[in-house]
Structure 1
Amino acid sequence: MSKLYTKQDIKEAAKAIKEGKLVAFPTETVYGLGADATNVQAVNQVFEAKGRPSDNPLIVHVADIKTVEELAEINKNAYNLMKRFWPGPLTIILPIKPGSLDKVVTGGLTTAAFRNPDNKETIDLIKAAGVPLVGPSANTSGKPSPTKPEHVLHDLDGKIAGVLDDGETRIGVESTVIDVSTKIPAILRPGAVTVEQIESVIGEIQTDHHKVGKNETPKAPGMKYKHYAPNAQVYIVGSDEWLKVKEWILKHPDQQFGIMAPDKLQSDFEQSNVSYFGMGNSIQDASHRLFDGLRLLDGNNKIKIIFAPEFVKIGLGIAYMNRLEKSAGKQYLVDLVD
């Protein structure tokens, strides 16, 4: 059994980290699976516990900029971004100093991803451990990311020392990843820090989300392998398509369905073969609840189809749709009903 650490147990959790064990930690985005980034054996356990491909690089979580200075070459763009957005949901890819991090952390690349999370308990944990922590999402690889301690335990109980409990995360989708090791900085994964916010600090950036080839090592998580997918098939539903969903469900009374939709639509789906999960009334609500809803509905083995709402790809909507499209394999309602 993995332990549920409280805020009062941070020293105990840090001791486990120092001993080479794995401890999941909270951030403002999702829960991360922490291990000493300087301990190769501990980092290898992260890949084993998650079932994660070994060429998928890990984000290094730090308590301060000084730690990054010891490990990487920081350019002007990176310093400006750190000053503006750290601590916060922005991961920055930088060239590392020779020998500073093992290839198991970087995926064999000469760059590494760094983040200073906006969570006091985790910052205290990093400081108490005295080492930076690798921190991929604390879930089985490919499944929806964990936004609650119970999500972590569902996937990893018995495989890790424990989870530092800070309740539900605030944002619900992983950090924005920007590569500033290239001539023109590029967004590799959208998140809560938007393109517009970044460009207001460092000027124009690339936003075309580079597609990783079969034999290419990704520079950031979430670029190459299947992510965020429940066992049920997810279909994306436009704001004007919920009547079609209701009609489809009425035609299939012997099937069980999961509905993730705005709160205001719940009264439209009170059929006995529907499990409803309210997504709130805004893109902020929907992003916060996306992974929780996917996990909750997927816990019902009778549900084979989950319907989830589309949002316009603007601001946080870009990050939300990035995760939802990967969860759904880019399957929209039209792929089911037409």
Structure 2
Amino acid sequence: MITNDIAQAVTALASGKLCAIPTETVYGLAANALDESAVARVFAAKERPADHPLIVHVASAADVSEWITELPQWAIDLTNAVWPGPLTIVGPRTALASNSVTGNQDTVAVRVPSHPIAQELLKHLKANGVKGVVAPSANRFGHVSPTSAAHVSADLGEYLNGHGDLILDGGDCQVGVESTIVLATGSQPVILRPGAVTAADIKQITGVEVSEETTNIPRVSGALDSHYSPTAQVVLITGSETEFENNAGFLALAQTPTPTGLIRLATPATIEDFAHELYSSLRAGDDLKLKTIYVVPPSGDGLAQAINDRLNRAAF
């Protein structure tokens, strides 16, 4: 059931129901992070592997100490600058974080979303004794993330309706790709998943270089080689290809002309627009029952790197 009623969503989540919620990045399938039965249903609804850790969403930075035992000063500086916003911090877990939430790891991932509806929801939940919600993307595991309530309904509507759960409609998500995940267990930040908060942002805020460490890092959401995938095959155009299947989809920045015979799925004018329209474009290709979607990846660092991370996994 799709609703605009935040109070109804608060009641549902506090009573052990699931509720898909809007964030500035993508829609998340929320459950009380301390309700093991509700958390188990998140895994069931998404058909998500049980060892895949979840991100705990809280109302403010002041709530993080409930979940993470300690953070280095650079991480405190980073969260003070970015939160609420599209940043997830991974740190040593407290006893509050269950194995089902952490994927049986010693760390837990936490973030403070900036979407005004998510903020209001989390504050009301906190007042009702709910210390945080898990909220992985509200879609079938490995599929394209949802950036609207309609996307959630298309993927999970049958399951949610069958169990009396909710979808809280907050319009289209602003950013359009998942949060940056940063490991905060050492003297330097390690980016575990790129997003709208870039390595350059992190260095500018903290004065600390981002580490390139790739060993002994925890598992996080969205790190599998194949992920974010539509039913259509995603083909990345990285050279001067001139031969394409007819009646296939096409996605590129607006200044790139559409090859003859292809169906333009979006015309993003900026990198920010590209991120915002990425998942809805891939879903549009599936709605049109296209077999192939050709994509010209944007060049550059920062948000372009996050977009290309998603595209490479979608095309894997």
TM-score (norm 1): 0.86
Written as runs of structure 1 = structure 2, the 5 A alignment for 1:40-51 is 40-51=36-47
Give the CA RMSD over aligned residues. 1.9
Give the letter for the 2:294 counterpart: F
**Equivalent in the alignment of 1:321:** 308
Go from structure 1 to structure 2 and tell me whether the alpha carbon gap of 1:80 and 1:264 turns closer, same or farther (over 3 Å shift).
Answer: closer
CA offsets per residue over residues 150-175 of structure 1, 9 Å max, x none? 11100000322121111111111100
Separation in structure 1 between the aligned mates of residue 273 and residue 215 of structure 2, nearest angstrom: 29
1:288 Cα deviation from its structure 2 partner: 1.0
Match of 2:86 among 83, 86, 89: 89
| Structure 2 SS opposite 1:263 | coil
**Equivalent in the alignment of 2:209:** 204
**Equivalent in the alignment of 1:61:** 57
| Structure 2 SS opposite 1:262 | coil
Select the structure of larger CA radius of gyration. Answer: 1
Q: Are 2:295 and 1:298 equivalent residues in the alignment? A: no
**Equivalent in the alignment of 1:135:** 135
Give the letter for the 2:43 counterpart: F
**Equivalent in the alignment of 2:77:** 80
Separation in structure 1 between the aligned mates of residue 314 and residue 225 of structure 2, nearest angstrom: 12
Contact 2:225–2:313 at 8 Å: present in 1 too? no
| Structure 2 SS opposite 1:167 | coil
1:188 Cα deviation from its structure 2 partner: 0.2
| Structure 2 SS opposite 1:288 | helix
Could you list the runs of 5+ residues in structure 1 that have no partner in the other structure? 330-338
1:77 Cα deviation from its structure 2 partner: 2.2
Contact 1:211–1:224 at 8 Å: present in 2 too? no
TM-score (norm 2): 0.91
Contact 1:60–1:135 at 8 Å: present in 2 too? yes
**Hey, which bits of structure 1, 4+ residues long, moved more than 6 A?**
none
**Equivalent in the alignment of 1:261:** 252
**Equivalent in the alignment of 1:101:** 97
Separation in structure 2 between the aligned mates of residue 15 and residue 206 of structure 1, nearest angstrom: 42
Written as runs of structure 1 = structure 2, the 5 A alignment for 1:1-338 is 3-6=1-4, 9-75=5-71, 76-97=73-94, 99-130=95-126, 131=130, 132-160=132-160, 161-202=165-206, 203-207=208-212, 210=214, 218-224=218-224, 226-238=226-238, 241=240, 244-245=241-242, 248-249=243-244, 252=245, 255-265=246-256, 268-269=258-259, 271=261, 274-301=262-289, 303-329=290-316
Separation in structure 2 between the aligned mates of residue 137 and residue 168 of structure 1, nearest angstrom: 14
Separation in structure 1 between the aligned mates of residue 98 and residue 267 of structure 2, nearest angstrom: 41
Separation in structure 2 between the aligned mates of residue 4 and residue 135 of structure 1, nearest angstrom: 17
Contact 2:253–2:298 at 8 Å: present in 1 too? no
1:211 Cα deviation from its structure 2 partner: 7.7
1:313 Cα deviation from its structure 2 partner: 3.8
Could you list the runs of 5+ residues in structure 2 that have no partner in the other structure? none
